[in-house]
Structure formats: C-alpha cells, structure tokens
Amino acid sequence: MGAGIAVTPDQLLTVNYLVLGATETETVGLDGRTRPVSRISLDHDSGLALLTVDGAGFEPAELAGSELPRPGDPVFMLTCTGDPERRDKERPGASGHVVFVGPFEAFWEYMLDQAIMTTIVNPGLAGGPLLDRRGRVIGVVSLGLAAVGRYSLAIPTRLFLERRSRLESGHPVPGSERHAWIGFYPQASDGGIAISGVVPGGPAESAGLQRGDLLVSVDGHAVQNLRQLYRTLWRKHPGETVGMQVLREESIHVIEVVAGDRYDFYK
C-alpha cells in the first residue's frame, strides 16, 4: 500500500516498489471510490512508476519543474495511512526542511545523483508528494532513512519530467539504453562490499554468486563502494558478460555473470 500523486486526470505518479510484481492494482481516491489501474509503467533507474486509471477525473497537482530545492528550504509532505477507517478523513501531513540534495546509493542496484533528503519523518505511507512552500510537488517520497537529521528521501520531480514521455508510452528506457542488471544485493562497509543476497531466478543466482561473497573486483576494476560498483557495472548492457572476482571461504573465485534486463525480468 502507498500513496500517489495525480499528474493528469487519469494518471498517478508513485514509487515503483509499491507495484513491482503486482498482478492486480487498484486505487482509492479521496472520495473513497475504488478504481482499477489499467496500466503500470515502471522506471527502475529513477525508482518511479506511472499508473493509468481510466476515467478517474483526478485533479492534477502542480509540479515544480526542473529546479531543485536547496538545503534549508522549508518543505512538507502529505500521505495516507492505509487505514480503511481513515479513507474519508483528513490525510496526515508533516513539515520540515531540506538538509541535503545529492548522491544516494542503495543495495538493490539503485543510484540517484540528486536525491532530496529532509528532516521530516513520514507520518504514513510512501509515494506521496514532497511539496515546497508554494504547494508545488518537488519530489516523490520514497524511503525512510536512519541517518541523524535525514529522516526521509524523495525522488526529484525533475526525473519524472525528463522521463515523462517515455513513461506515458509504456517504454521508459529503450532497450539500447538499458544497463546491466545482476540481480543481487551488495552491502558496502569498511571491509568492502559483501553480497547479502541474490534475486531468485536472477542472473547472479544462475551464475553461482552466493550470500556472504566478498566482492573484490568487477571486470578487473577494484570496487570499494556502491557508487564505484554501479558505475562499473552500468558500462555493460543486458546480455553481456560481467567478470566478478569474489572472496569466498578464504579462496578467490572468478564468476562470470551474463547480465540481465531488469525491465524484462519484472514485466
């Protein structure tokens, strides 16, 4: 369950993990009416999803455009709780400030160059709007963070605007522009990058990568953090072979992974 932002009378913008792998999706409007979703378009690079709800008649929100907020700017968010008893009641909100706009990496092969981090603790579910002082949507609330002073992360609206035409067409990233996907969960620490798990049926599992493997290099390039890892991996495309050197039980193993296409895998 999550929140969404109306960007047209029949389209909702939200975060992609809310609908990833779903066989059926529906929306509940502020009026309490349930409406089926007719199409979902996922963008794995930005972490956004665009949902089409035919004939919904939503009132679109005002989007901020391409500008990014600055640290210190006041912001607020609106969301929902997922509680059926509160469907017709006021939605929870919270206010705070932007503390950082910059790089962010996560363990599910995800990286943003300009994530928005705020002092706001999300009072409900993810997918709702992060708004500026003028009530314009500047981001889509995605994650709760544990860092001191950085309690929530939002995906900038500008990423949606850059990808809008592709998302609306249902093809957010052409095949020729897609980068390699391994299907594993790398965790970075002072000791290097350890693999904490693999996606069942994904390229990493098929190649023999295992939980607990310590990643030494990728295609001969040493990688010490997630940003280095992703930049190295994303030079390759689906179908190409990636050589991964790992330390396992005090022995070095070289494992060749045939990169997958995340868009095909999660259709």
Q: What per-residue confidence (pLDDT) applies to 255?
A: 96
When the pLDDT of each residue in the chain is averaged and rounded to a whole number, the result is 92
User: What average pLDDT does the segment 74-79 reach?
Assistant: 95
- Catalogue all structural domains in the chain, each as residue range(s) with its CATH number: 1-173 (2.40.10.120), 178-265 (2.30.42.10)
Is the pLDDT at 14 greater than 90, yes or no? yes
Is the pLDDT at 56 greater than 80, yes or no? yes
Is the pLDDT at 146 greater than 80, yes or no? no
Q: What per-residue confidence (pLDDT) applies to 176?
A: 83
Cα–Cα distance for residue pair 170/106, rounded to 1 Å: 25
Tokens 């045939």 correspond to what residue?
258
Is the pLDDT at 258 greater than 60, yes or no? yes
Q: What per-residue confidence (pLDDT) applies to 218?
A: 96
Res. 87 pLDDT band, cuts 50 70 90: low
Res. 142 pLDDT band, cuts 50 70 90: very high
Phi, psi of 75 (to 5 degrees): -145, 160
Sign of CA dihedral 153, 225, 186, 49: positive
* Per-residue pLDDT tens over the stretch 234-244: 999 999 999 99
- 183/33: higher pLDDT: 183
Closest to 101 (Cα-Cα) out of 130, 136, 61, 133 = 130
